[in-house]
Amino acid sequence: MMIPLSYALTLSAILFTLGVVGVLTRRNIIVLLMCVELMLNAVNLSFVAFAHHLESAEGQLYVLFVIAVAAAEAAVGLAIVVALNRSRKTVYADEVSLLKG
C-alpha cells in the first residue's frame, strides 16, 4: 500500500513552516542553524516522496546533493558561530549588529 503523495507533501509543508517559525522567533544562532537544517529536511522529504511517486531516481539523487550541501553549510555555519563567540562573546543573533546603520 502506497502513502498518498499529499500526505508526505503536507508533512513536508508543516516541517518547513516550523523551521521558518523557528528562524523568525529564536535568537540563538545555533538554534537558527538547526531550524535551517529542519527546512532542508522538509524539502528532502518532498523530493523523496516525488521520487517514489514518479518512479524517478533524480529525486533521490538530489537528496544526496542537498545532504552534502547541508553538511558543508553546517560546518561553515558552526565555524562562524565559534569565531563570533570568540570575538564578541555572544551567540544571540540580535546582539550582533555591527552592520546596523
Partner 1 sequence: MTLALFVVFAVLAVAGAVGVILCKSPIHSAMSLVGTMVALGVIYLLHHAEFIFVVQLMVYAGAVMMLVVFVIMLLDLRAEGEAEGRLTGPKAFGLLLGGLLGALLLVPLAARLTGLTGDMTTDALVRVGSVEFLAGKLFGEYLLPFEIVSLLLLAGLVGAVTIAKKRL
36 binds partner 1 (CB under 8 A): no
State the distance between the two ends of the chain, measured CA to CA, in whole angstroms. Answer: 58
Closest contact distance (angstroms) between CB of 35 and partner 1 is 7
88 binds partner 1 (CB under 8 A): no
3-state percent helix, strand, coil for the chain, nearest multiple of 5: 80, 0, 20
Residues in 58-87 that interact with partner 1 by CB under 8 A: 58, 60-61, 63-65, 67-76, 78-83, 85-86
Phi, psi of 28 (to 5 degrees): -70, 125
27 binds partner 1 (CB under 8 A): yes
